[in-house]
Structure 1
Amino acid sequence: MAEAKQIDSNMPLMFLSIALIIGSIVAFYYFSEIRLFYRVLGVIGTIIVSTFIIYQTAFGKMAYTYVVESKIELKKVTWPTKQETTQTTLGVIFIVIIIGVLLWLLDMLLGWAIGTLYGVT
């Protein structure tokens, strides 16, 4: 029950953050006579403020923890070497070409068989 209460208390902050972003996008188009640079700055600034507001919620803290842990996991990944990547890519291209040719031959064979069956030349 305490968790539901905390989520409910965070809802106004979430709605405020979303409203700020929507408002900045509306303002971006409404004030079209102002230079693009300043309008983009306004949207970026609003996104930064909204991100800070969302971070204050339980959801924001969970999302931040998720991002940090994802970065840690990415460092643990063993990435393939350039040679392995090239060999795999060439293998895939070769197999795709072979399958394409086989499907083309099958299409030609079935087309010939149906044409012969119906007497179409």
Structure 2
Amino acid sequence: MANPSVETVNTSSDKLMLVVGVLLVLAGFVGFYWLGSQEWYVRGAALAVGVIAGVVVGLLSAPGKSFIGFAKDSYKEVRKVVWPTRKEATQTTLVVFAFVLAMAIILWVCDKSIEWVIFSAILGWK
């Protein structure tokens, strides 16, 4: 059964939260440059506080919560992946290289054959 379609309702409060989140991130950057004469850790703290606060506010909105759900589901799916062993990866890589080399040789032979037919046989150039 296919996934049912989900209707997302974006309320004005969700949009406002996203705007506030973006403004907090921008405030962190503005604070970083506005405090240019301060020590590096004061400037870094202003930047970190702004960015962290903006991300937290953004993640508390409905789109942020759906992103968190998506990230959790993606993590679960990645854990299900069966990764190849080192031997399997090496063998696959060697097969790919061999195929590429064979195709390069075949294409070179085709190219030189067509070149010979056109320039030597048809046009008579040496």
Question: Into which bin does the TM-score normalised by the smaller protein fall?
Answer: 0.7 to 0.9
Aligned to 1:118: 123
Residues 92 and 42 from structure 1, CA distance in 2 versus in 1: closer, same or farther, beyond 3 angstroms?
A: farther
Alignment root-mean-square deviation, CA: 2.5
Aligned to 1:70: 74
SS of 1:120's equivalent?
Answer: coil
Mapped to 1, the partners of 2:79 and 2:21 lie a distance apart of 32
Mapped to 1, the partners of 2:74 and 2:44 lie a distance apart of 29
Aligned to 2:11: 7
Aligned to 1:87: 91
Aligned to 2:4: none
Query: Are 1:103 and 2:107 matched, yes or no?
Result: yes
Q: Which one has a larger percent helix, Structure 1 or Structure 2? A: 1
Aligned to 2:63: 59
Gap regions ≥5 residues in structure 1: none
Q: Return the offset for 1:56.
A: 1.2
Residues 92 and 44 from structure 1, CA distance in 2 versus in 1: closer, same or farther, beyond 3 angstroms?
A: farther
Mapped to 2, the partners of 1:91 and 1:32 lie a distance apart of 56
Larger RCO, structure (CA 8 Å, separation 6 or more):
1
SS of 1:79's equivalent?
Answer: coil
Opposite residue 115 of structure 1, the aligned amino acid is F
TM-score, scaled to structure 2: 0.75
Gap regions ≥5 residues in structure 2: 1-7
Residues 88 and 18 from structure 1, CA distance in 2 versus in 1: closer, same or farther, beyond 3 angstroms?
A: same
Opposite residue 116 of structure 2, the aligned amino acid is W
SS of 2:105's equivalent?
Answer: helix
